[in-house]
Structure 1
Amino acid sequence: MMRRLSCLLSLVLLGGCATQRAETRAEPPPATSAPKPSMVYRFEGIELFGTRKHSREELLAPYLAALPPAGTLLDMEKEGDSFIQALAKGKEQLQARHGFALIRNSVTAYAKDMTLRVTVDVVDLGDEWRLEYAPAPTGSVAEPDGLLAAWTTYLTRMWRLVNAGAISTDDTEPCRAFHCFYGPGHPELMALEAPLLAGVPRHFETLARMAHTDADATKREQAAYLLAYGPSREEVARALVPLMNDPNEAPRNAAMRVLWMLQEKADRPLVPLEKVLRGLHGPLISDRNKAAGLLAVLVAKDASRRVDILREGGQVLLEMATAKQVIERKPALDVLRTLSGKDFGEDVASWRAWVQQTLAPSPNHR
């Protein structure tokens, strides 16, 4: 458990873009020659998202009874197991009391200020449509030209460089694909990236088939990141959009993350708005924060469907805007600022009033 949790805290270095649950698989540990990163985080609290039937205070009560107070310093190397067990206990009690179609505890840690926050995602009974995705693929696609292994080697080295302080999580340039993680200009990473730059365009269709049809969700996720090295922005978008409906959160998260960066630098919309709005209603924080980030850059290219966006996603965006979790709050506010041309900061009451005013029927149509 502790190894998985340690890797969890490394993975969320994706700074505002990634959230991982405690059950996530492990990434390779840092090199033994690198300084061991601190595992002491300040626990900043817990919040809940997704219910239309219960108050947040009511549902968080079992968690608050089991967790340390907000502001507590936690050495996750020593206390991580007990922290995760407390979260699991709160989840069990909540499910026993109310019953939900889904409950998920997501832990997000921020390396920049060494803080940690928890989001509890719930799906009410009656809202099971939020869990409806494409059927699980059943195929098997052989790895082309060792590209999955090359990608794993690249990520392993990248995390070792991050943990050693050799590269920053703010450093994503120069990016030679349509999506990059951290330190892509570091000489060690540039050398490891060479087979990806050469191999992905040759095997693009095979990787797209893997992303769409392979039964292994890890392979689908890896293929999604590799497709970012594809031959054109349009082809990459076409290959990744279907993964927004993947039944597993990891390929969905990877696809929307790549599409977010790809769309940001495009000169026109490349992702169907309906797909993005569906992602906004996804069951997990990793669904809606990527969908909101993608929506923000999409409407920057074309805000002509502002009313449709607010009708379909306005309430979700307003709920996200109330979150203390910055990876949830920031992209939602970015969407509202872009749609409105206004900036009410974090004043959610003013944003709510603007949404209501925008959706109100004009006097001529009453």
Structure 2
Amino acid sequence: MARRLRWLVPLMLLGGCAHHQVEAPHAQPPPPAKAPAAKATMVYRFEGIELFGTRKYTREELLAPYLAELPTAGTLLDMEKDGTAFIQALAKGKETIQSRHGFALIRNSVTAYAKDMTLRVTVDVVDLGDEWRLEYAPAPTGSVPEPDGLLAAWSTYLTRMWKLVNTGVISTEDTEPCRAFHCFYGPGHPELMQLEAPLLAGVPTHFETLVRMAHTDQDPKKREQAAYLLAYGPSREEVARALVPLMSDSNEAPRNAAMRVLWSVQEKADRPLVPLEKVLRAIHGPLISDRNKAAGLLAALVSKDTSQRGLILHETGEVLLEMATAKQVIERKPALDILRTLSGKDFGEDLASWRAWVQETRATQPPRAPSPNQR
């Protein structure tokens, strides 16, 4: 599971499992006093850098300026001491390729994995001519007051959760017992259960206000927080309806939050709850946080229904194949899950075989509906 570093560049997180309970739990007694937890190590093994999104240049051409600045793959990095220099090296590589080629967007994203203490970089680019990948809904201009201190309560919960993660008290593999339709880590820890009580009690009461905030507030941080809070809503269907519009949000943070929750919502649903065309568009998003959440969501959708296989492969086949070549597991795994489900086959990581299957299937199974992303 990916882990938060203080600096970062977007945090990439895999979706978690969820179930729902609207009643607030009984108050839990404070946990017994413990010796202070050891400070979590910030030493990661740098596993390399990869590039995604260009149709005009080779990966080798664009990554060369980065490789000239970064340590070699396999180097141990103490991010407490070396983090600033590492981020500066990434910024220099970005500046070099932008000055040489010009892109509609370049973004350096760092993903850290707590399980094996590794770190990998993805450089996302959007070519000139592909600006449609950056087209989202206009930024909202409204202002919705915080209902009943719920944003503050969520911030307190999240801050404490990350402290427990970063000191090794809870694991990023621990997502149960989850009392919402989406949970982060250690939801059964006594401290977090206490902090979650106002969310369980307050969100159903203020659900419509939070929906309005998520859709109309000008502050992207509030829209992001509202998206996570909506996971405590009254039903799976209502949560999905509330969050689908945020897949087109102008800011990456609300988009990421909404798709993370929707992925969890869809995984345990007995039928598709998210419009397929929205998910296919999201996979073409400009950032790893867009496509890895969208791919996880698509994997959950096709596990319920593979009837639109032709449309999916015509719309996203090339993107899925590119994701399947990634060394970032948060990209590779959901893409391969989708291909396995759609094909009923398992070629492992044999990309030549997957490409042959995608091309053959697209030739024999045209889209069943007009393509929403034809360019």
Matched, 1:345 2:348: yes
Structure 1 ranges of 4+ moved more than 4 A: 9-12
Structure 2, unpaired ranges of 5+: 17-34, 366-375
Aligned partner of 1:108: which letter?
A: T
| Contact kept in structure 1, 2:10 and 2:110, CA below 8 Å | no
Find the counterpart in structure 2 of residue 272 from structure 1: 275
More divergent stretch after superposition (116-125 vs 336-345): 336-345
Alpha-carbon distance in 2 for matches of 1:339, 1:346: 16
| Contact kept in structure 2, 1:17 and 1:289, CA below 8 Å | no
> % of aligned pairs identical?
84
Shift in Å at residue 167 of structure 1?
Answer: 1.5
Matched, 1:261 2:264: yes
Alpha-carbon distance in 2 for matches of 1:199, 1:184: 17
SS at match of 1:201: helix
> Considering only aligned residues, what root-mean-square deviation do their CA atoms show, in Å?
1.8
Shift in Å at residue 165 of structure 1?
Answer: 2.1
1:144 to 144, 147, 167: 147
Find the counterpart in structure 2 of residue 158 from structure 1: 161
| Contact kept in structure 2, 1:35 and 1:163, CA below 8 Å | no
Shift in Å at residue 33 of structure 1?
Answer: 4.0
Structure 1, unpaired ranges of 5+: 19-31
Find the counterpart in structure 1 of residue 89 from structure 2: 86
Aligned partner of 2:310: which letter?
A: V
Give TM-score, length-normalised by structure 2.
0.89
Report the count of equivalent residues. 345
| Contact kept in structure 2, 1:260 and 1:293, CA below 8 Å | yes
Find the counterpart in structure 2 of residue 6 from structure 1: 6
Aligned partner of 2:185: which letter?
A: Y
SS at match of 1:108: strand
Find the counterpart in structure 2 of residue 169 from structure 1: 172
SS at match of 1:53: coil
Matched, 1:64 2:67: yes
Matched, 1:123 2:117: no
Alpha-carbon distance in 1 for matches of 2:146, 2:240: 21
Render the CA deviation track for 1:116-175: whole Å, top value 9, x for unaligned.
000000000000000000001111000000000010111111112212322111111111
Shift in Å at residue 6 of structure 1?
Answer: 2.9
1:98-117 counterparts in 2 under 5 A?
A: 98-117=101-120
| Contact kept in structure 2, 1:5 and 1:80, CA below 8 Å | no
SS at match of 1:44: strand
| Contact kept in structure 1, 2:11 and 2:111, CA below 8 Å | no
Change (3 A) 1:111 1:328: same
Which structure: greater helix fraction?
Answer: 1
1:1-366 counterparts in 2 under 5 A?
A: 6=6, 8=8, 14=13, 16=14, 33-361=36-364
| Contact kept in structure 1, 2:38 and 2:167, CA below 8 Å | yes
| Contact kept in structure 1, 2:314 and 2:362, CA below 8 Å | yes
SS at match of 2:185: coil
Aligned partner of 1:110: which letter?
A: Y
Aligned partner of 1:345: which letter?
A: G
| Contact kept in structure 1, 2:5 and 2:112, CA below 8 Å | no
Aligned partner of 2:161: which letter?
A: M
More divergent stretch after superposition (181-190 vs 199-208): 181-190
Change (3 A) 1:11 1:354: closer
SS at match of 2:111: strand
Change (3 A) 1:187 1:9: farther
Shift in Å at residue 361 of structure 1?
Answer: 3.3
